[in-house]
Amino acid sequence: MNEVLFQVELFGRMLVVTPWKLIGYAGVAIFAGRWFVQVVASHRARRSHLPRLFWYMSLGGSLLLLSYFSLSEKNDSVGVLSNLFPAAIAGYNLLLEARQRRREFAPARASKIPQSEAASDRSGAE
């Protein structure tokens, strides 16, 4: 994964691109792109809003960057630490949302069960 795919001269410096760097670039693009998602969602809601996609992009971008900083020849502990915290926060927020959806979905699902089934379920449990 450290083999050179191509090189480009940019602003007088040689930019060397490897598969690991592509993973890092993808992580940066996804992690930075989450803010565009947040701005669009807030504009549509006409209030500050963090959509679920924001947290998925935070987690995905952080995991890509964590893999780049920890598994590539870069092996940069500063990069690992700076992406470990956002990944944990994004994961926690997604967990909270999943729990909330489950709580909101459970009463709706229970109300759709016909009364005859609900009664037979209760009598069978005794």
* Residue whose token pair is 């699902």: 109
Indicate whether 49 pLDDT > 90: yes
Give the mean model confidence (pLDDT) for residues 44-66: 96
Task: Kindly indicate the confidence band of residue 2, based on its pLDDT and cuts at 50, 70 and 90.
Answer: confident
Burial group, residue 114, by CB count within 10 angstroms (0-12, 13-18, 19+):
exposed
pLDDT top residue among 114 and 5: 5
Give the mean model confidence (pLDDT) for residues 6-30: 94
Q: Is the pTM of this model over 0.85?
A: no
Predicted confidence at residue 126, as pLDDT, reads 45
- Please give the structure tokens belonging to residue 101: 């959806």
Own/partner contacts of 86-91, CB < 8 Å, gap of 24 or more, are 86/31, 86/58, 86/62, 87/58, 87/59, 87/62, 87/63, 89/58, 90/55, 90/56, 90/58, 90/59, 90/62, 91/59
**Angstrom distance (rounded) from CA 111 to CA 99:** 19
